Amino acid sequence: MTIKSVYFIGIGGIGMSAIARYYLQQGVAVAGYDKTPTPLTRELEREGALVHYCDDIHEIPEAFRDETSTLVVYTPAIPAEHTELQYFLSHHFDIQKRAQVLGSLTRTYKGLCVAGTHGKTTTSSMTAHLLHQSHVDCNAFLGGITKNYGTNYILAPQSDYVVIEADEFDRSFHWLSPFATVITATDPDHLDIYGTEEAYLESFRHYTELIQPQGYLILHTGLKMQPHTPESVTTYTYSRAEGDFHATNIRIGGGAICFDLVSPLGNIQDIELGVPVGVNIENGIAAMALAQLAGLSADEIRSGMKSFGGVDRRFDFHVRNEHKAYLSDYAHHPEEIRASIQSIREVYPDKRIVGIFQPHLYTRTRDFYREFASALSLLDEVILTEIYPARELPIPGVTSQLILDNLKPGVPGRIIQKADVLDVVRHTDFDVLITLGAGDLDNYAEQIAEIIENK
């Protein structure tokens, strides 16, 4: 089929919008549906996409009703009974999941993919930035908006490489065929999809079967999963020598983090992080490993690491002055939250740190409320909002109270309504505030920052 138009069901999703931008830049007509308008959908409209917000087949533009020339792309978050999806199914359109489209790109370019329970977005964005500012360049489809480029998509048709965030939700990463991949972590998640930890780990093992012949697998040390081809594996870690790639001579101070990279592809001295938080040492090691495999020089890697500006909602500072700090973080898994808080403690060891956490999904809260409570207990005060449901219906007995009841003794905590967040910020004592979660709490970030700056 010659594709003249592409219709997206769920066009406003962070991963979907990157593919929409790819087709727009290819000169293909793009339209789509999403549930609500957002800054991202408005940007897509300005870039030329036709977007509507009502599930109604009459809203589908006439030019996108030809099954011989229209590709339909949908996100697995869309329910099967969605009216527009059913229309395209019944009229025999070519319908593909987002991951299928990304998979085809890994067979067109050399795919540098980043998989894992957490760290995917920062590590893949860092990898994309390293390559894009080098002589190698890359295409990239990312799960967040990069600070350097203000987008989740990079186009470089002349490059041989594509950087892709490999998402395990709904087994999406099984469509990929990586040239090289990092696996950052395999802490169980998405048990509403997988059912058991064993099935989750098996999904990652199968993913390692999909690496191209003579390709590369770079695993974080200590993962439970056993890769398909252990003889071709290299490893990385924070600063312990058992990782083939690791940091040494780490210097933290004066608002900066510097270290040296030990690598089987060539050591690099005096690397400085553009976003100086401890967790980015580990993310950076994985990104630099992929960059070295792609042929970047030591100087290009040093320059790229220093100039990397971070990703929206990933350790995203909104206020940072001598009196107060406020940052938002997308962390929504217990281990992500633990790493986030520990990194803040490194930067602000003697400050009062308060966190506002919006749990994401009823199933995740049900499965991990004890682990959430343990991680959040690293804060000086814990403030919880109601659960953000996303694609789920409520589960009886599953509320934020489960987390509150399991905080460690002596850690103060409370539950608030999301609508009261701004008032709570005004009347809470803190030196550092962090808002955590993958829901919509970040919509208040600008107002929270204004309140803090005016305190």
Q: Does the structure show a pLDDT above 90 at 336?
A: no
Q: Give yes or no: residues 21 and 148 share one domain.
A: no
Q: Give yes or no: residues 321 and 178 share one domain.
A: no
Q: Pick the range with the lowest mean pLDDT from 118-132, 234-248, 426-440.
A: 234-248
Q: Pick the residue with more confidence: 268 or 119? A: 268
Reported as type and span, the H/E element at residue 85 is helix 83-90
> How many Cα neighbours within 13 Å face the side chain of 16?
27
pLDDT of residue 256: 85
pLDDT of residue 136: 97
Within 10 Å of residue 440's Cβ, how many Cβ atoms?
15
Q: Does the structure show a pLDDT above 70 at 286?
A: yes
CA distance 158 to 448: 43
> pLDDT tens digits, residue range 389-443?
987 899 999 999 999 999 999 999 999 999 999 999 999 999 999 999 989 998 8
Domain boundary among the residues 69, 96, 123 is at 96
What strands, in cross-sheet order, belong to the sheet with 246-253? 246-253, 256-262, 268-272
In a domain, 101, yes or no: no
Q: Give yes or no: residues 329 and 293 share one domain.
A: no
- Token representation of residue 177: 């065929």
Number of domains comprising the chain: 3
Q: What is the mean pLDDT of residues 27-35?
A: 96
Q: What is the mean pLDDT of residues 444-448?
A: 95
CA torsion, points 106, 108, 140, 438, in degrees to nearest 10? -30
In a domain, 76, yes or no: yes
CA distance 395 to 112: 38
pLDDT of residue 230: 59
Q: Does the structure show a pLDDT above 80 at 350?
A: yes
CB 184 within 8 A of CB 120: yes
Q: Does the structure show a pLDDT above 70 at 125?
A: yes
> pLDDT tens digits, residue range 172-223?
899 999 999 999 999 888 777 888 989 999 999 999 999 998 899 999 998 9
CA distance 237 to 218: 10
Domain boundary among the residues 287, 307, 327 is at 307
Domain boundary among the residues 253, 277, 307 is at 307
> Which residues are 353's β-sheet partners?
432
Reported as type and span, the H/E element at residue 413 is strand 413-415
CA angle 344, 201, 264 (to 5 degrees): 65
Domain residues for the domain of 48 are 5-96
**CATH number of domain containing 236:** 3.40.1190.10
pLDDT of residue 231: 60
**CATH number of domain containing 66:** 3.40.50.720
Q: Give yes or no: residues 183 and 64 share one domain.
A: no
Q: Give yes or no: residues 343 and 423 share one domain.
A: yes
Q: Give yes or no: residues 421 and 284 share one domain.
A: no
Q: What is the mean pLDDT of residues 39-64?
A: 95
**CATH number of domain containing 414:** 3.90.190.20
> pLDDT tens digits, residue range 306-332?
999 999 888 888 998 888 999 999 888
Q: Give yes or no: residues 59 and 119 share one domain.
A: no
Share of the chain above pLDDT 90, in %: 74
Q: What is the mean pLDDT of residues 268-288?
A: 94
In a domain, 102, yes or no: no
Give pairs for 87-91: CB < 8 Å, separation 24+: 87/57, 87/60, 88/7, 88/9, 91/67
What is the 8-class DSSP label of residue 294?
Answer: T
Q: Does the structure show a pLDDT above 90 at 124?
A: yes
Q: Give yes or no: residues 192 and 295 share one domain.
A: yes
Q: Give yes or no: residues 29 and 171 share one domain.
A: no
Q: Give yes or no: residues 329 and 218 share one domain.
A: no
Q: Give yes or no: residues 275 and 343 share one domain.
A: no
Q: Give yes or no: residues 79 and 114 share one domain.
A: no
Q: Does the structure show a pLDDT above 90 at 225?
A: no
Q: In which residue are the tokens 């099984």 written?
A: 174
> pLDDT tens digits, residue range 80-96?
899 999 999 999 999 99
Q: Does the structure show a pLDDT above 70 at 127?
A: yes
pTM: 0.80
